């Protein structure tokens, strides 16, 4: 649903991009919506690290790098959260975090550890449940892991320790469509939250009132009404009423080419309080140079910690920077960031 006036969406032609090549919303969509894949089998999207003389492991598969502090204990076979992205014809699966009983844990591994991880979790024949809109939505079947054959699935220039990717085949009633943007996990997740239905006729007005606490002189209501905007209601379990999510963004973020260009952006989450009115429970806003701006975009909601309340999964990015997932948890009546994924796909660079 649109809030205010919304310029037509700009969709550039597909091209090869890296995960860090995201100076605008349009180029960001290339990364995570699959208009152009980040990597592809048989196509050289990145300069091989072999051409620079580097190698990830020696003949015995042992790394020349020292062990990393706080490495994930793979012997415990922890459950893993994955992100599935790309096109329907060529979806990819990327590890995001390990799931403990009550929290998300970063996946920290050395080069040998990532190869063991690939063999354990991303080998051909493995399958994972897909999740979208807070519940199950089909199955992702691994077609090829990172190191299933003589050549890795992809290579990064000057990178000794890339995060593994896998190609997958999607199966499910709603797994179709051109672009793919979903979550997957080895854990059994998801809830059927019995939230009260949101009246679409009142959604815009409810979000307008809830965002009133977040606006100021630089981002007042007339300014917001001039920006491209989106709003939706999602049943998170944070209360009997659905959680409202809305974000506003200007054309500079979509097409700006200068880091000095001024941009406006606001992201707001709102929930009903005890009086029955929607109030902002999370806000992120920017009014300043594009080069100093962090953007937020809603991706999905899913209970990742088993407490009965969904986490809200956002995407964050910066002009000319790298994208990441920012996961919000509901604590003491507010949404706060509880986990942030890696912003690049390389753990160790060549010297």
Residue 24 has pLDDT above 70, yes or no: no
The predicted model gives 283-309 an average pLDDT of 91
pTM: 0.79
The predicted model gives 166-191 an average pLDDT of 85
pLDDT at 117: 96
d(CA 340, CA 328) in angstroms, rounded, equals 9
Residue 11 · residue 25 · CB < 8 Å: no
- 215-220: long-range pairs with CB below 8 Å, 24+: 215/266, 218/264, 218/287, 219/248, 219/264, 219/266, 219/285, 219/287
Domains along the chain with CATH numbers:
25-62+69-185 (no CATH), 200-340 (2.40.128)
Residue 154 has pLDDT above 50, yes or no: yes
d(CA 351, CA 345) in angstroms, rounded, equals 17
Residue 43 has pLDDT above 80, yes or no: no
d(CA 165, CA 144) in angstroms, rounded, equals 9
Residue 49 pLDDT grade (very low, low, confident, very high; cuts 50, 70, 90)? very low
Residue 290 · residue 263 · CB < 8 Å: yes
Residue 341 has pLDDT above 90, yes or no: yes
The predicted model gives 181-209 an average pLDDT of 76
Residue 195 pLDDT grade (very low, low, confident, very high; cuts 50, 70, 90)? low
pLDDT at 33: 37
Residue 222 pLDDT grade (very low, low, confident, very high; cuts 50, 70, 90)? confident
pLDDT at 141: 97
pLDDT at 48: 34
Residue 84 pLDDT grade (very low, low, confident, very high; cuts 50, 70, 90)? very high
The predicted model gives 71-88 an average pLDDT of 94
pLDDT at 347: 79
Structure tokens at 226: 């001039």
159 backbone dihedrals φ, ψ, rounded to 5°: -110, 125
Say if residue 77 is exposed, middle or buried (CB neighbours under 10 Å; 0-12, 13-18, 19+): exposed
Residue 298 pLDDT grade (very low, low, confident, very high; cuts 50, 70, 90)? very high
pLDDT at 175: 55
Residue 104 pLDDT grade (very low, low, confident, very high; cuts 50, 70, 90)? very high
Secondary element (H or E) of residue 131? strand 127-132
Lowest mean pLDDT among 196-210, 279-293, 329-343: 196-210
Residue 142 · residue 166 · CB < 8 Å: yes
d(CA 127, CA 173) in angstroms, rounded, equals 16
Number of neighbours of residue 236 by Cβ within 10 angstroms: 26
Residue 292 · residue 272 · CB < 8 Å: no
Q: For 105-139, what is each residue's pLDDT tens digit?
A: 999 998 899 999 999 999 999 999 999 989 899 99
Residue 213 has pLDDT above 80, yes or no: no
């Amino acid at each position: 649903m649109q809030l205010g006036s919304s310029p037509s969406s700009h969709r550039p032609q597909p091209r090869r991009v890296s995960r860090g090549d995201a100076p605008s919303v349009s180029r960001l969509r290339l990364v995570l919506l699959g208009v152009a894949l980040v990597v592809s089998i048989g196509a050289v999207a990145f300069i091989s690290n072999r051409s620079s003389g580097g190698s990830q492991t020696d003949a015995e598969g042992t790394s020349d790098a020292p062990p990393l502090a706080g490495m994930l204990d793979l012997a415990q076979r922890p459950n893993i959260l994955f992100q599935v992205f790309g096109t329907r014809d060529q979806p990819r699966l990327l590890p995001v975090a390990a799931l403990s009983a009550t929290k998300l844990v970063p996946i920290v591994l050395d080069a040998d550890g990532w190869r063991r991880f690939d063999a354990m979790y991303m080998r051909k024949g493995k399958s994972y449940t897909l999740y979208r809109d807070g519940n199950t939505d089909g199955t992702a079947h691994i077609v090829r892991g990172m190191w299933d054959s003589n050549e890795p699935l992809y290579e990064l220039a000057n990178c000794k320790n890339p995060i593994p990717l896998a190609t997958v085949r999607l199966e499910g009633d709603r797994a179709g469509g051109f672009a793919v943007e979903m979550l997957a996990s080895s854990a059994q997740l998801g809830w059927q939250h019995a939230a009260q239905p949101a009246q679409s006729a009142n959604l815009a007005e409810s979000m307008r009132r809830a965002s009133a606490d977040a606006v100021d002189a630089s981002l007042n209501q007339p300014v917001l009404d001039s920006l491209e905007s989106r709003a939706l209601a999602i049943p998170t379990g944070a209360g009997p009423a659905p959680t409202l999510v809305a974000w506003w963004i200007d054309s500079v973020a979509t097409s700006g080419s200068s880091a000095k260009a001024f941009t406006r952006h606001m992201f707001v989450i709102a929930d009903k309080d005890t009086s029955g009115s929607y109030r902002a429970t999370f806000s992120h806003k920017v009014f300043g140079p594009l080069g100093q701006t962090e953007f937020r975009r809603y991706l999905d909601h899913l209970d990742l910690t088993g407490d009965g309340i969904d986490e809200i999964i956002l995407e964050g990015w910066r002009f000319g920077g790298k994208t990441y997932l920012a996961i919000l948890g509901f604590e003491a009546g507010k949404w706060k960031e509880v986990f942030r994924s890696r912003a690049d796909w390389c753990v160790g660079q060549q010297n």
